[in-house]
């Protein structure tokens, strides 16, 4: 592990040098002398490396090799993107019926008849397969979520992956993309994580393909591998098939038996109400989480605060999906979408995340969206949820274990997970952009350096 000196950087409003030794901050002050690799910050601010508190690493890596429909508008544009030549499997992401119309096996056969195609819904909960694809599957003993007639495969990712013998996608591009936007740590929130996916991520870490530190959730028991931390038990609720409260409580108790925190997927008001009832019965501990908080009614906020839960949200969604929300969500519920400001004013801990590949990987885009609360077409959506720039930045500065904690600090003895900006902090927070990232340092090593 090599040492590193950052010269002429802004920290706490003054210009200092920072010496990094053994992966930690060893000295801070003016005029530090050291014979090691040096970066001249030229007055740019040093901040803690950003943390993406909810991402799906393997899915995000796979999505980079897929046809993406996120910004395809209308059936014709979807058809154009699917009409690519080739004979092997075609993997497609980002489909949503609001933009692309209804899609089932028959329609997909019409659009792409000559090769096996699987299309993932933008929510990540559904795959749609054409007939050529279905013919390659062994349907004996298929799980309940498989509907061969419609080609809809709901919440059966593990089974699909086994059927297709999916290999581990290349994590190097996603690691580079994360480093380029200043991300030094991630929490993989996939409910399907198991020892096999843990081993795959651990190998990428050991092979220095993935420099970011990783915490992994799972839906069941999980043991650490390498230096990966085991995170909360992920509980996935589905508004169309909610479990009885007693059953959910049993799942909470199992998580506690394993000595773990709990993170509940709550996109709808009904999912949140059920989760809060279970937390109220079992009890909450520091680090328990509500994932997404897609719809949070104003009268639910005091209970979230009382229970001490952290809401891990995606503030970019009102920007990325807001125009669709305005067209499809009851106007009375628009103000309840992906709250930030009212939660924080009520004392609720809030943390930011990408939910990649289902949202943008760029935390700076999410910060801007948290500040202006406007859709891609410029419409206002929940303006009372807007945050000040430094509060938006702080969404990504919490610890992995307790993402809603006070922001981490660059200080003596701290791990050298650092994001160096091109500009002083006051200027940077006036125009939050990934282009501000001059260098990303993880455990004292340069993971990204945008050299002038």
Torsion angle of alpha carbons 339, 232, 362, 332, nearest 10°?
-20
Contact 8, 21 (CB under 8 A): no
- Asked if pLDDT for residue 452 goes beyond 60, the answer is no
Strands 289-292 and 14-21, bridge-based pairing? unpaired
Domain boundaries, the chain: 1-49+408-452, 50-58+169-406, 66-164
CA atoms within 13 Å, Cβ hemisphere of 392: 25
Q: Which CATH number applies to 1-49+408-452?
A: 2.30.40.10
Q: What is the pLDDT of residues 307-359, one digit of tens each?
A: 999 999 999 999 999 999 999 998 889 999 999 999 999 999 999 999 999 99
Mean pLDDT calculated for residue range 29-50: 96
Q: Which helix (H) or strand (E) holds 249?
A: helix 245-257
Quote the CA–CA distance of 86 and 115 in Å, as a whole number: 7
Contact 245, 278 (CB under 8 A): yes
Contact 10, 420 (CB under 8 A): no
pTM of the complete model:
0.92
Structure tokens at 218: 């799972």
Quote the CA–CA distance of 263 and 191 in Å, as a whole number: 10
Please name the fold of domain 50-58+169-406. TIM Barrel (3.20.20)
Quote the CA–CA distance of 168 and 65 in Å, as a whole number: 12
Averaged pLDDT of the chain: 95
Using CA atoms, how far residue 102 sits from 42, 94, 147, 267, in Å, is: 53, 14, 16, 22
Using CA atoms, how far residue 331 sits from 116, 325, 328, 336, 337, in Å, is: 40, 9, 9, 10, 11
Mean pLDDT calculated for residue range 389-407: 96
Give the long-range contacts of residues 401-408, CB within 8 A, separation 24 or more: 401/215, 401/229, 401/287, 402/286, 402/287, 402/310, 402/349, 403/51, 403/53, 403/187, 403/289, 403/310, 403/312, 403/349, 403/351, 404/310, 404/311, 404/348, 404/349, 404/350, 404/351, 405/349, 407/48, 408/48
Q: What is the pLDDT of residues 241-271, one digit of tens each?
A: 999 999 999 999 999 999 999 999 999 999 9
Q: Which helix (H) or strand (E) holds 6?
A: strand 4-11
Which residue from 286, 222, 228, 235 is spatially nearest to 265, judged by alpha carbons?
A: 235
User: Looking at 110-114, 123-127, 163-167, 335-339, which range is the least confident one?
Assistant: 163-167
Please name the fold of domain 66-164. Diaminopimelate Epimerase; Chain A, domain 1 (3.10.310)
Maximum distance among all Cα pairs of the chain, rounded to whole angstroms:
71
């Amino acid at each position: 592990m090599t040492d590193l000196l950052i010269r002429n950087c802004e920290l706490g409003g003054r210009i200092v040098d920072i010496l990094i030794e053994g992966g930690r901050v060893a000295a801070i002050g003016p005029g530090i002398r050291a014979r090691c690799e040096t970066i001249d910050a030229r007055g740019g601010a040093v901040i803690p490396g950003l943390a993406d508190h909810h991402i799906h690493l393997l899915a995000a890596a796979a999505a980079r090799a897929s046809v993406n429909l996120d910004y395809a508008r209308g059936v014709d544009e979807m058809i154009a993107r699917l009409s690519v030549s080739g004979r092997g499997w075609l993997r497609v992401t980002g489909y949503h019926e609001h933009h692309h119309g209804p899609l089932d096996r028959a329609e997909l056969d019409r659009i792409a008849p000559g090769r096996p195609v699987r299309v993932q819904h933008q929510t990540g909960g559904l795959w749609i397969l054409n007939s050529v694809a279905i013919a390659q599957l062994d349907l004996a003993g298929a799980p309940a979520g498989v509907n061969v007639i419609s080609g809809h495969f709901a919440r059966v990712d593990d089974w699909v992956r086994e059927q297709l013998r999916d290999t581990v996608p290349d994590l190097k591009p996603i690691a580079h993309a994360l480093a380029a936007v200043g991300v030094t740590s991630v929490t993989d929130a996939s409910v399907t994580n198991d020892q096999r996916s843990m081993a795959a991520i651990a190998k990428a870490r050991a092979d220095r393909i993935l420099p970011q530190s990783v915490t992994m959730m799972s839906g069941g028991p999980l043991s650490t591998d390498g230096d990966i931390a085991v995170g909360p038990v992920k509980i996935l609720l589905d508004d169309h098939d909610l479990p009885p409260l007693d059953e959910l409580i049993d799942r909470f108790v199992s998580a506690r038996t394993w000595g773990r925190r709990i993170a509940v997927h709550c996109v709808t008001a009904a999912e949140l109400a059920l989760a809060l009832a279970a937390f109220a019965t079992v009890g909450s501990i520091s680090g328990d989480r509500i994932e997404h908080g897609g719809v949070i009614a104003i009268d639910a906020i005091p209970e979230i605060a009382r229970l001490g839960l952290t809401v891990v949200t995606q503030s970019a969604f009102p920007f990325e999906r807001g125009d669709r929300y305005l067209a499809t969500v009851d106007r009375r519920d628009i103000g309840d979408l992906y709250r930030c400001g009212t939660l924080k004013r009520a004392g609720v801990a809030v943390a930011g995340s990408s939910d990649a590949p289902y949202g943008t990987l760029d935390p700076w885009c999410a910060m801007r969206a948290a500040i202006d609360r406007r859709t891609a077409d410029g419409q206002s959506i929940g303006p009372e949820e807007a945050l000040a720039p430094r509060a938006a930045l702080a969404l990504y500065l919490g610890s992995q274990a307790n993402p809603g904690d006070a922001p981490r600090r660059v200080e003596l003895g701290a791990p050298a997970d650092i994001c160096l900006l091109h500009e002083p902090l006051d200027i940077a927070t006036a125009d939050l952009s990934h282009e501000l990232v001059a260098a990303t340092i993880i455990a004292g090593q340069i993971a990204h350096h945008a050299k002038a």
